[in-house]
Amino acid sequence: MIPAGQVRAWLHDARERNIELIADLSEAQLLSHRMPYVQPPKWEAGHAAWFAENRVLERALGEPPFLPDGHLLYDSTTIPHRVRWELPLPDKAGTLAYLCDSRAHILDRIEGAATDERALYYALYALLHEDMHNEALTYGRQSYGFPAPALSTESAPEPAAATSGGPLPGDAHVPGGTFQLGATPDEPFVFDNEKWAHPVEVAPFAIARAPVTQSEYAAFVDGGGYQHAEYWSAEGRLWRDANDGAKAGGPLYWHRAGSGWERRDFDRWVPLEPHRPVLHVNWYEAQAYCAWAGRRLPTEAEWELAAAGSVDGMALSLRKRRFPWGDEPPAPERAHLDWRGMGCVDVGALPAGDSAFGCRQMIGNVWEWTSSSFLPYPGFRADEAYPEYSQPWFGTHMVLRGGSWATTSRLIRNTWRSWYPPERQNVWAGFRTCAL
């Protein structure tokens, strides 16, 4: 179990990020207009705080909540998305006070329950849940066109390995064999959908060393990729034809600028950086690009094998790596995480983070779509702390792996599974491809 002092420090840090992500927004921005797949920032921030007190105080310690009737405002399992703009939420000052005061109360109670493993488990769950919502608040600011947030975690200088990158063409060749997909019980904490490692057979394959870049994706767009129906699945064509921006060609937040492209970076338009990974493309767009390029998306088993596997002699090793580079925790020279630089780096940056097979940036920089549906592993059991975390989304969402520049380093690992519906565009998602 992770020590109580570490849990308290992380909980404080997660809440600090939550506060920073909304502190500069106006009352109008905090309750911005309805938008698919985005929450009102004021609601999202308060929901993360309510979830923490609900899990730690009420469920783990059996105490009354810090905010009476908070579930009427912030319980995502009972409050539909469409009505979250209509709730009698506190104003900005009241929201910030709630974030600060409830944190102080929870930290005090955890200090008094330092040997209570159940309370620490619930606290850890709550702070990691808050990390996820902090990433969502970040892409929410992008979706609404707000300025980039000013975060204290982003103040450290970039390592030299991150400021020079360029492209990274070519494939890594991964041998086939029996691979243990999923997490093992020796992990200090995993979510229910990672449990437990089970054998899968994987045929030999070749996977791109890096994600698809913006210049590579621009070639697809400029080559008429959005107009040629043969590149799109039946479902993808339905999405494309119902989406005016997609019919015109180009991913979310791109527009034509002379003979080239610009992308919207929060509230400003910038020239397309050719060697950065393409962002804000959905699963249908990734599939269409693959069809145009004569490639395919990796399965999630292939993705995890390329990230976590290694060879022992001529065969796959039975031992998996926790991260692509090994078992050491993420560091800035290995993985682009923790809001560093407030955006992506070139796909060729950070060679110290390469996997055993030579794949780069499989942790951090950009989430990567896989071809796999989000399904339970054999013997799945929902987590006690959050039974609704995974189960409602099985069979309707697609798996993404690896984390993004706005993912916290304490959250991510090779076995971590994210999931979104195939039409979702506004998250920090791109993809890498496999040879046919």
pLDDT value, residue 156: 64
Contact residues for 46 (Cβ-Cβ < 8 A; gap 6+): 73, 74, 89, 90, 95, 98, 99
Checking if the pLDDT of 234 tops 90, the result is yes
pLDDT value, residue 340: 94
Which one, of 252, 260, 257, lies nearest residue 278 by Cα?
252
Checking if the pLDDT of 112 tops 90, the result is no
**Using alpha carbons only, how large is the chain's radius of gyration in Å?**
21
pTM above 0.75, yes or no: yes
Q: Write out the DSSP string of 151-196.
A: -GGG-SPPPHHHH------SEEEE--EEEEES--TTSS---GGG--
Checking if the pLDDT of 239 tops 90, the result is yes
Question: How far does CA 10 lie from the centroid of its chain?
Answer: 18
pLDDT value, residue 317: 86
Q: Which fold is adopted by the domain 157-436?
A: paralog of FGE (formylglycine-generating enzyme) (3.90.1580)
pLDDT value, residue 356: 97
Checking if the pLDDT of 162 tops 80, the result is no
Contact 362, 174 (CB under 8 A): no
Class of domain 4-154: mainly alpha
pLDDT value, residue 383: 96
Average pLDDT over residues 342-348: 97
Q: How many helices (H) and strands (E) does the chain have?
A: 12, 15
Sheet with 398-401, strands from edge to edge, namely 417-420, 398-401, 367-373, 429-430
- Across the chain, mean pLDDT equals 95
Contact residues for 211 (Cβ-Cβ < 8 A; gap 6+): 277, 278, 347, 361, 365, 366, 368, 430, 431, 432
Residue tagged 């064509």 (tokens): 237
Average pLDDT over residues 227-245: 90
* Strand-pair partners of 399: 419
Q: How do residues 272-302 score in pLDDT, each as one tens digit?
A: 999 999 999 999 999 999 999 999 999 999 9
Sorting pLDDT into bands at 50, 70 and 90, what band is 221? very high
Domain ranges across the chain: 4-154, 157-436
Q: 110 φ, ψ to 5°?
A: -65, -40
Average pLDDT over residues 211-222: 97
Query: For residue 88, what are the CA distances in angstroms to 23, 25, 31, 140?
Result: 19, 18, 11, 21
pLDDT value, residue 422: 98
Q: How do residues 382-404 score in pLDDT, each as one tens digit?
A: 999 999 999 999 999 999 999 99
Contact residues for 359 (Cβ-Cβ < 8 A; gap 6+): 172, 207, 208, 209, 210, 306, 307, 324, 432
Average pLDDT over residues 20-36: 95
pLDDT: which is higher, 159 or 360: 360
Average pLDDT over residues 104-125: 94
pLDDT value, residue 316: 87
Beta strand 171-174 with 205-208: parallel, antiparallel or unpaired? antiparallel
Query: For residue 313, what are the CA distances in angstroms to 20, 84, 241?
Result: 50, 56, 51
Residue type for 244, please? D
Sorting pLDDT into bands at 50, 70 and 90, what band is 247? low
Q: Tally Cβ neighbours within 10 Å of residue 265.
A: 16
Sorting pLDDT into bands at 50, 70 and 90, what band is 154? low
Checking if the pLDDT of 155 tops 80, the result is no
Query: For residue 275, what are the CA distances in angstroms to 70, 196, 212, 382, 401?
Result: 46, 36, 9, 40, 20
Residue 15 sits at the vertex; the CA angle it makes with 14 and 19, to the nearest 5 degrees, is 120
Q: Which long-range contacts (CB under 8 A, 24 or more apart) does 308-311 make?
A: 308/355, 308/414, 308/415, 309/174, 309/179, 309/355, 309/356, 309/357, 310/356, 310/357, 311/175, 311/356
Checking if the pLDDT of 163 tops 80, the result is no
Average pLDDT over residues 300-314: 93
Fold match between domain 4-154 and domain 157-436: no
pLDDT value, residue 281: 97
Question: How far does CA 129 lie from the centroid of its chain?
Answer: 12
Average pLDDT over residues 68-96: 96
Average pLDDT over residues 80-107: 97
196: preceding bond cis by omega (within 30 degrees):
yes
What the block records as the tokens of 56 is 């730690």
